[in-house]
Chain A
Amino acid sequence: MRTPAALITLLAAALVLGGCQAAFPPAAVTEEGLLIENLYVFVFVIAAVVFVLVEGLIIWSVIRYRRKPTDTTLPAQTHGNLVLEIIWTAIPLVTVVGLFFASSQVLGVVDARKPEDVSVKVEVVGYQWQWKFAYPDAGFEIYGTAQNYPELVVPIDERVEVTLVAQDVNHGFYIPEFLFQRDLVPGKVNHFEFTPNKLGTFAGQCSAFCGLLHHAMGFTVRVVTREEYDAWIAEMTPEPAPSESPVATETDLTAEVKEWAISLSGASTAAGEVTFGLTNGGKIPHEFIVVRSDVGGEGLLDQIDPATSRLDEASLDAIGEQPEFSPGETKVLTLDLEPGRYVVLCNIAGHFGSGMYADLEITAN
């Protein structure tokens, strides 16, 4: 009798201890995450009490009231009890209302927007199937690949604002140790703010199913000290290019790129040196590629590779390009163009197909 009882107690203790590990989220590394962690524990305790109570009642009644050979007459035929019904409606009601208020308080903090307190702004762009992290204040961008996940670097104890933009389909920006995720939804810009309070590198991953390589949309977040952060920013910031002097350049054509169109100031111009004045008037980065093509933009639409939602650039006769540039930026692109039919386009996944192209005719002088 003794040993089995001791064994069962031991087993139960092991289960409870092991279970404890397994039943809780990782330790939070942001101020907001900490609140969520505490809320989780609060919900968990209530849930555990309810579970033990109800499961206990089920097991107890099943064991205690099993039919015995001596049960020859019917048990008492009780049909119900109004007082009991009211009690077991009221208790759950009070419990869930309490949970709701506790949750609302945490939600108020987690979802708060405090632009005046924000010291670092980052823009996260999700696309099939990776991420781009942009630091608009410093003017650089980091592109991830499936082999080389991008890293978001933020300073500890400072409020960070994240802007979330989806370039093609839904994605989810999820960092388990933040106990937080928010979706990136095409056609909509989402935000959240957080204050990291632990140094270290934390893994993140896309949480909203986004197609073929959804599982490869990983990234990391590295929380560093302010000094390390400043050093990192300085190292990442590109040298200001001397050619980008604000001296007005003579342009032959101006082009505005945005979601989801490219508007050219003219449909044709004379052959020779052609200078494009480019503006990104949209909300996300775009590129500007000049392609020689006899079928025109409409004709090229048929050649989009459905797997990548892009044109295969190897098969294009691209004359020159302005690589991705950020919203609000202006660029100048000068190319030597022979007479013929051309298409200007943005070949970021999904953008061309969404309408980012324009036809251009180069005429002989």
Chain B
Amino acid sequence: MATTAARATGVQGSRLYDYLTTTDHKKIGILYTISSFVFLAIGGLLALGVRTELAQPGLQYMDESVYNQLFTMHASVMIFWVIIPFLAGIGNYIVPLQIGAADMAFPRINALSFWMIPFSGLIAASGFFLGGAADAGWTAYPPLSNITYSPGPGMNLWIMAVILVGTSSILGAVNFLVTIFRMRAPGMTLFRMPIMVWTIIVTSVLVLMGTPVLTSALIMLFVDRNFGGSFFDPTTGGSAILWQNIFWFYSHPAVYIMVLPGMGVISEIIPVFSRKPLFGYKAFVFATAGIGALGFSVWAHHMFTTGSVFLPFFSVMTFLIAVPTGVKMFNWIATMWRGQISFTTPMLFAIGFLSMFLIGGINGVFSASVPVDYAIHATYWIVAHIHYVLFGGSFLAIMAGIYYWFPKMTGKMLDEGLGKLHFAIAMIGLNLTFLPMHTLGLMGMPRRIADYSPTAGWNDLNLAATVGGFLVGISTLPLLWNIYTSLRNGKDAGPDPWEGNTLEWATSSPPPAWNFDRLPAITSERPLFDARHGRSGSDHA
């Protein structure tokens, strides 16, 4: 926003006021994106703090108390204030355009959903200045998160903040569902919707079913802490395991909440830059729904080592959920197969997603095998897994989406050279950071430790991971510079710079407040392709 405001010097006040009060889904989408970038900077710096301390054995830069706050807040910020809002923002901007609607169904609720995000983020972060942020891990397991063991204000602030994020997600989910089911343009049948829209439907259903459960758990924890409740306190008749069950009932589906829309983004980009339709459109829809359904039956795979889980059921379900994910992978590859691939920055990030998310899928299957999980659970192996899924998956998809839709959002092209530089550094940094963590985990380095013994043999790999982490940090500089210069003097994008398939490319860049002056005929899932090449170009094989 800083840059957009700076451009409009004379009317700065009014431009700012416009964004502060807007109910336009496109402006709200941009607000989400900006807020996510700000929190990405915060979450990234927290990660660099963690990595700096771990670069060598010994506590050089902070004590355990600070370390625990850093890693707790890094994970929380990245999940609740970066990935989820980034995807909500892209969905906000793109979904109404892709279905040919003029706005979201409930524009004011939409604005409310957004403003809860920065507000709640500030609440959670304010702990740093009020005597200590939350430090019980983003999973906040009681009894550690109880008032006895986490007496500071950070934990209470964290609970309130996460409840707000959850509420924002629930409101957003209702809004998306009503918009998608009630406001599609004539001709836009369900099975002509872009896959992006389908993934937002499934994600919204997951949010509606999972988030209220998390909210109740958070309220129970809050009551335990502040009003003498004993839901999770075993010393007064509560159950510590109960929290883990409820928490993961939400937080496992949350992984899909964070990855399905990313898959949607990828499914938009790969066909466009391969000049082919998405291979197996319906298989994609069913696989997405299948992931959503199975997603609610695997939560206890986070609890295999607690001795309180019916292992065979959760193990087999966890294995099974790999299948629809595999189906998607093959369909993406089949889409590129015999295509004509151009290596634009969005496509590079999409290919990066394919090859990195593949690793995140495969190293996850290790944990589905209960005995293997006994060996790798709660070690750095899991940290590697989290990041190949969330960073190699969700985050690369988000970056692909930003490069892909930036021209639509601003009317300006991003610079390809800087984009490719960003991609190259990010890929090297990503693998240098997270590949060694598999080995660290196998060697026995537990996650969430502030320090390790210099004789454990973990020094070199930790140093490598820290160097990689700084590379990842550096990789965002070309992106920021790119955005800054492109907004000032980037090439004009025109309505459809990529030869896109879907409706957002049928209007000007950026689109007018009412989105479309005129809609093309919608007779397939690629209305713009049809308009460009005629329906005959897309004869069904």
Contacts and interface: CB of A to CB of B under 8 A. Distances in A.
Interface of A: 22-26, 35-36, 39-40, 43-44, 47, 50-51, 54-55, 57-59, 61-62, 65-68, 71, 74-81, 84-85, 88-89, 92-93, 96-97, 99-100, 102-104, 106-107, 110-111, 128, 168-170, 172, 174, 176-177, 179-183, 185-188, 190-191, 203, 205-216, 218, 259-260, 304, 306, 309, 350, 353-355
A285 B533 CA distance: 80
B439 interface: yes
Interface in B46-63: none
Given A80-B281, A214-B449, A104 B312 contact: yes
A22 B461 CA distance: 10
A168 B333 contact: no
A75 B446 contact: no
B358 A36 contact: no
B320 interface: yes
A47 B149 contact: no
Contacts of B376: 25
Contacts of A216: 451
A76 B306 contact: no
Top 7 nearest A-B pairs by Cβ distance? A187-B234, A176-B444, A215-B449, A354-B235, A179-B375, A96-B319, A67-B340
14 contacts: A36-B374, A43-B372, A47-B362, A47-B366, A51-B359, A65-B341, A67-B275, A75-B339, A76-B541, A81-B279, A96-B365, A179-B375, A209-B144, A211-B144
Given A207-B377, A213-B64, 17 more contacts: A58-B354, A74-B340, A75-B338, A80-B282, A92-B327, A93-B320, A107-B315, A168-B149, A172-B446, A181-B378, A185-B308, A209-B136, A211-B149, A214-B64, A214-B448, A215-B446, A354-B236
A93 B444 contact: no
A195 B30 CA distance: 60
A96 B323 contact: yes
Interface residues of B, number: 97
Which applies to chain B's interface (DSSP): helix, strand, loop or mixed? helix
Contacts of B240: 170, 185-188
Given A79-B277, A107-B311, A26 B141 contact: no
Nearest to B377: A181
A216 B334 CA distance: 51
Contacts of B311: 107, 111
A300 B369 CA distance: 49
A181 B374 contact: yes
A71 B339 CA distance: 10
Residue among A128, A209, A353 with the highest chain B CB neighbour number at 10 A:
A209
A79 B541 contact: yes
B189 interface: no
B342 interface: yes
Given A79-B541, A169-B144, A185 B449 contact: no
Contacts of A97: 316, 319
